[in-house]
């Protein structure tokens, strides 16, 4: 019977009994801690250190008995300015036999890597865990023992009587706006982030409709005959609908005036407000609802029609109010998601409305815009979502226009592949800003699209190597997905996790010590992709001490590091897409 890594609990137990000296030297070998597909490229990075300086060769051994199955030479030294490191690469791509292995250096200490697998479905558990995190982000919803296990909690924030903040345009009164997903590690709900998150997840469904079928995610709606991923997305769509004003505009966010302390959702008794309206919130809403209109039509025509009608109203409002930025009022301190350029939101909304409605007005709008794919999307710049949809989903753009869009995706993917060949960790160039991990994941998604356009394996293998980075082959030497791998992010900035795991009681000082593996009292909800290295280090003023100043190493696995270790729905959405798409495609490749 084939064994799969799950959340690698067995590997964690094995690791915890290793001597501390061995654990320390393990960190000199940076490797995907879950593993690899048989046909993917397999590269580890050996950092030059006192312990590894005498190594020239490596071998791959079976974890069960230490038997060598592959030997190779380390590459010439490569220096990466972003991390200040010099290292060598260990390439064992030729090894394709399924199993559980370790990489061992030929140095005096015989330094070993963390264990890893070669398997034809190695990312399946990561993809499922990533998607399950949205269930754990549900607002106004009890997480039951049956479905949430040790992470069960009471429902928080019913949001059935939310006050209007003056910035909403309403002078008084209350409204009902229950449900939706908590945006990140706090308890706010934000329209801009919901837009790109829902858009990314719906895009995954449109490309891989059979990957998360009914009963695959173990959520309350499992068994209702609709794919579980669509049930989970609908939970947030239903909240988004409550945020549309009578005039078609869309409120910007629903939060308290300031961030709450480290408490469980049901203990937050702060007054909740609907705050602001903006061009960006209206257009994010319009794009997501247009996508939902075509996706849900096969399951509920009335629901789908309502989504499309709402998308049109939001578009019309945005055209009449085409330059209304959001800025926090003086008494509001929660997330601002500040944006003053709305060209990208207009392009994305027009693209999704055109695909769904086929109406000439949206085609005419797009004909006046540059819709080539040039960079990965983010909440600040959703432009890249438009060409991805137009390249993959059937639409009535002229063939020449569609061919040009597809060529731009491939051209950008080629640029990133060329950059990967130059770098120690084999990743594209990146400015390490807030949420850098999501930027890597979104670059990987573009490579998946390039593979689908060309059927050239090099793009799919490039996407796999970006996943390698997220799962341990990085300058922090850690899997950036909670609960996935051996040494993973264990102390995320996430109030539910902090309180339930007792992390807050441990204190910042203990967490600042280098932890080589999570301890029994500090196990997290698996599947959250933390933000990752952030050169800005904006949380230094809040008891967070960074051991490094270099961009690629500006990461601390401590719960107060909201700048590098928070979680967010718009970071997990591309993680779901990346891991799920790779698993679907690499699994098919293995069968050929």
With 90 as the cut, is the pLDDT of residue 502 above it?
A: no
Q: Which residue in the list 232, 352, 566, 583 is annotated as catalytic?
A: 566
CA 313 – CA 294 distance, rounded (Å) = 17
The pLDDT, as a whole number, for residue 22 is: 45
Helix (H, G, I), strand (E, B) or coil at 575: helix
Cβ-contact 225, 235 below 8 angstroms: no
pLDDT, mean over the chain: 92
10: exposed, middle or buried (C-beta count within 10 Å: 0-12, 13-18, 19+)?
middle
The pLDDT, as a whole number, for residue 12 is: 37
Cβ-contact 487, 7 below 8 angstroms: no
CA 342 – CA 344 distance, rounded (Å) = 5
The pLDDT, as a whole number, for residue 4 is: 40
Distance set, CA 67 to CA 62, 101, 102, 104, 445 (Å): 5, 9, 10, 11, 37
Pick the CATH number of 124-381 from 3.30.300.30, 1.50.10.10, 3.40.50.620, 3.40.50.2300: 1.50.10.10
Q: Which residues does residue 244 pair with via DSSP β-bridges, in sequence order? A: 250
Cβ-contact 443, 400 below 8 angstroms: no
User: At 25, is the pLDDT very low, low, confident or very high (cuts 50, 70, 90)?
Assistant: confident
CA 568 – CA 191 distance, rounded (Å) = 13
Q: Which residue in the list 159, 228, 232, 557 is annotated as catalytic?
A: 557
Q: Which of 417, 363, 364 is nearest to 390 (CA)?
A: 363
CA 276 – CA 296 distance, rounded (Å) = 29
Q: Which of 23, 98, 21 is nearest to 63 (CA)?
A: 98
**For this structure, is 271 an active site residue?**
no
Q: Characterize the bridge pairing of strands 43-47 and 35-36.
A: unpaired
Question: Interhelix angle for 399-420 vs 385-392, to 10°?
Answer: 120
Contacts of residue 146, Cβ cutoff 8 Å, sequence gap at least 6 = none
Residue with the two structure tokens 């060409």: 387
455-479 residue pLDDT tens: 999 999 999 999 999 999 999 999 9
CA 26 – CA 23 distance, rounded (Å) = 5
CA 520 – CA 13 distance, rounded (Å) = 10
CA 564 – CA 532 distance, rounded (Å) = 5
Across the range 360-375, mean pLDDT stands at 96
Q: Which of 6, 94, 91, 21 is nearest to 57 (CA)?
A: 91
The pLDDT, as a whole number, for residue 356 is: 98
Cβ-contact 531, 568 below 8 angstroms: yes
229-274 residue pLDDT tens: 999 999 999 999 999 999 999 999 999 999 999 999 999 999 999 9
408-452 residue pLDDT tens: 999 999 999 999 999 999 999 999 999 999 999 999 999 999 999
Q: Which residue in the list 493, 496, 539, 583 is annotated as catalytic?
A: 493
- Locate the domains of the chain by residue range: 124-381
390-414 residue pLDDT tens: 999 999 999 999 999 999 999 999 9
Helix (H, G, I), strand (E, B) or coil at 131: helix
**For this structure, is 186 an active site residue?**
yes
User: At 501, is the pLDDT very low, low, confident or very high (cuts 50, 70, 90)?
Assistant: low
**For this structure, is 494 an active site residue?**
no
Cβ-contact 491, 557 below 8 angstroms: yes
* pLDDT above 90 as % of the chain: 88
User: At 588, is the pLDDT very low, low, confident or very high (cuts 50, 70, 90)?
Assistant: confident
Q: Which residues does residue 73 pair with via DSSP β-bridges, in sequence order? A: 57
User: At 346, is the pLDDT very low, low, confident or very high (cuts 50, 70, 90)?
Assistant: very high
The angle subtended at Cα 389 by Cα 384 and Cα 392, nearest 5°, is 125
Tokens of 361: 């007005």
Strands (E) located in 215-335: 251-255, 273-277
CA 225 – CA 235 distance, rounded (Å) = 16
Helix (H, G, I), strand (E, B) or coil at 99: strand
DSSP H or E run through 102: strand 99-105
Cβ-contact 552, 479 below 8 angstroms: no
Question: Interhelix angle for 385-392 vs 191-207, to 10°?
Answer: 20
Across the range 3-16, mean pLDDT stands at 38
User: At 9, is the pLDDT very low, low, confident or very high (cuts 50, 70, 90)?
Assistant: very low
Q: Characterize the bridge pairing of strands 43-47 and 29-30.
A: antiparallel
**For this structure, is 465 an active site residue?**
no
Contacts of residue 424, Cβ cutoff 8 Å, sequence gap at least 6 = 45, 78, 79, 80, 83, 85, 86, 87, 89
With 80 as the cut, is the pLDDT of residue 508 above it?
A: no
Contacts of residue 385, Cβ cutoff 8 Å, sequence gap at least 6 = 196, 199, 200, 203, 287, 348, 351, 377
Cβ-contact 284, 311 below 8 angstroms: no
Four-CA torsion 95, 100, 106, 108, nearest 10 degrees: 170
CA–chain centroid gap for 51, Å, is: 34
Q: Which of 86, 103, 87, 111 is nearest to 23 (CA)?
A: 111
Contacts of residue 341, Cβ cutoff 8 Å, sequence gap at least 6 = none
Q: Which residue in the list 186, 339, 344, 583 is annotated as catalytic?
A: 186
With 60 as the cut, is the pLDDT of residue 17 above it?
A: no
User: At 15, is the pLDDT very low, low, confident or very high (cuts 50, 70, 90)?
Assistant: very low
The pLDDT, as a whole number, for residue 591 is: 61
The pLDDT, as a whole number, for residue 164 is: 97
CA 401 – CA 345 distance, rounded (Å) = 20
211-232 residue pLDDT tens: 999 999 999 999 999 999 999 9
CA 460 – CA 189 distance, rounded (Å) = 34
The pLDDT, as a whole number, for residue 519 is: 41
With 90 as the cut, is the pLDDT of residue 325 above it?
A: yes
Across the range 539-545, mean pLDDT stands at 89
């Amino acid at each position: 019977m084939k064994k799969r890594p799950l959340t690698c609990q067995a590997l964690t137990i094995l690791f915890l009994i290793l001597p501390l000296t061995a654990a320390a030297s393990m960190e000199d070998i940076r490797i995907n801690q879950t593993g690899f597909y048989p046909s993917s490229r397999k590269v580890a990075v050996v950092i030059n250190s006192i312990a590894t300086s005498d190594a020239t060769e490596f071998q791959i051994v079976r974890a069960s008995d230490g038997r060598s199955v592959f030997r190779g030479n380390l590459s010439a030294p490569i220096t990466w300015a972003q991390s200040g490191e010099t290292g060598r690469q260990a390439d064992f791509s030729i090894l394709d036999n399924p199993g559980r292995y370790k990489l061992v250096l030929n140095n005096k200490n015989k330094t070993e890597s963390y264990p890893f697998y070669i398997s034809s479905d190695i990312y399946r558990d990561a993809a499922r865990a990533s998607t399950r995190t949205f269930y754990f982000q549900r607002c106004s919803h009890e997480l039951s023992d049956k479905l949430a296990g040790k992470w069960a909690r009471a429902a928080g924030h019913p949001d059935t009587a939310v006050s209007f903040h003056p910035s909403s345009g309403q002078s008084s009164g209350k409204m009902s706006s229950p449900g939706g997903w908590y945006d990140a590690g706090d308890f706010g709900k934000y329209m801009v982030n919901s837009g790109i998150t829902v858009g990314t997840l719906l895009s995954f469904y449109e490309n891989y409709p059979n990957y998360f079928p009914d009963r695959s995610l173990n959520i309350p709606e499992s068994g209702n005959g609709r794919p579980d991923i669509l049930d989970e997305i609908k939970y947030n769509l239903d909240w988004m609908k409550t945020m549309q004003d009578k005039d078609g505009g869309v409120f910007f966010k629903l939060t308290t005036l300031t961030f709450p302390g480290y408490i469980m959702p049901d203990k937050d008794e702060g007054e909740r407000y609907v705050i602001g309206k903006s061009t960006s919130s209206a257009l994010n809403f319009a794009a997501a609802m247009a996508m939902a209109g075509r996706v849900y039509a096969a399951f509920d025509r009335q629901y789908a029609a309502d989504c499309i009608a709402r998308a049109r109203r939001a578009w019309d409002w945005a055209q009449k109010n085409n330059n209304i930025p959001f800025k926090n009022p003086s008494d509001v301190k929660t997330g601002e998601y500040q944006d003053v350029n709305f060209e990208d939101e207009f392009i994305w909304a027009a693209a999704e409305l055109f695909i769904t409605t086929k109406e000439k007005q949206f085609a005419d709008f797009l004909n006046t815009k540059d819709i080539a794919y040039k960079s990965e999307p983010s909440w600040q710049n959703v432009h890249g979502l438009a060409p991805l949809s137009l390249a993959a989903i059937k639409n009535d753009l002229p063939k020449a226009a569609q061919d040009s869009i597809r060529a731009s995706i491939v051209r950008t993917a080629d640029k990133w592949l060329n950059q990967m060949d130059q770098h120690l960790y084999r990743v594209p160039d990146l400015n390490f800003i807030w949420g850098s991990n999501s930027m890597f994941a979104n670059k990987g998604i573009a490579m998946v699209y390039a593979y689908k356009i060309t059927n050239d394996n090099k793009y799919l293998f490039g996407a796999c190597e970006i996943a390698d980075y997220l799962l341990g082959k990085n300058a922090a030497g850690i899997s950036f997905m909670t609960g996935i791998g051996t040494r993973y992010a264990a102390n995320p900035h996430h109030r539910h996790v902090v309180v339930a795991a007792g992390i807050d009681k441990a204190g910042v000082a203990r967490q600042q010590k280098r932890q080589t593996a999570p301890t029994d009292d500090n196990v997290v909800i698996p599947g959250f992709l933390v933000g990752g290295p952030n050169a800005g280090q904006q949380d230094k003023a809040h008891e967070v001490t960074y051991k490094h100043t270099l961009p690629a190493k500006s990461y601390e696995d401590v719960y107060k590091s909201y700048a590098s270790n928070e979680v967010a729905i718009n970071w997990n959405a591309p993680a779901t897409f990346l891991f799920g798409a790779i698993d679907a495609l690499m699994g098919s490749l293995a069968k050929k």
